[in-house]
Every structure is written in C-alpha cells, then in structure tokens.
Amino acid sequence: MGSCRRTANRSINRCRDAQYLKEQAQESLKSHIQDILPQEYQRCLTGFNQVLKLGWQIANNNNVKQNSHDQNDNGNTVRQVTTEQDW
C-alpha cells in the first residue's frame, strides 16, 4: 500500500478505512468458513443422499413394474422386441 504513505490527512483516513475493511472482510470470511460452511456442506450431503435414495427407489419400482408387465395372463414371460424405428 504505497499510496498509504502520503502525509495528507485524507490519504491517511482512506488508508485506515481500507485496512479496516480488509480486516473486517478477513474476519467475516474466517467466520463463514468455520461456522457456516460446514453446516451447508452437511445439508448438501443430506440432500444428495436423499436424491440418490429416491432415484434408486424409482429405478427399482420401474424394474418391478416392467417385470410384472413382462408376463401374460398364463404367467409366461413375454418380451417385447424393439427396433430402431420404435425409438
């Protein structure tokens, strides 16, 4: 901060203000990293795990429904053949 070495009162006040703001920003960032970020990280992990769980439930339910539809009235397994035109 070479500009802070000026002797004019206005420059000194600006330098002190800038230093104060820098210290406040550092404290705020330190507090955020130590206090808030771990909580937010845990919330994200919990949400991610819920999404995974729900995704697996949907996938497993779809597999069960597909398997139950793969049988005809006699209980015989029926498979549908798809072609490229069906896509």
The pLDDT tens digits for 54-65 are 999 999 887 766
Total domains in the fold of the chain: 1
Residue 10's pLDDT is 66
Cα 80 to Cα 69: distance, rounded to the nearest angstrom? 10
Residue 3 has pLDDT above 80, yes or no: no
What is the extent of the structural domain holding 39? Answer: 7-86
| Location of structure tokens 């703001």 | 21
Asked whether residue 1 is domain-assigned, the answer is: no
User: Which residues are CB-neighbours of 19 under 8 A, at least 6 positions away?
Assistant: 1, 4
14 half-sphere exposure, CB direction, 13 A CA radius? 11
Residue 87's pLDDT is 45
Asked whether residue 2 is domain-assigned, the answer is: no
Mean pLDDT to the nearest integer, 43-64: 91
Q: What is the pTM of this model?
A: 0.46
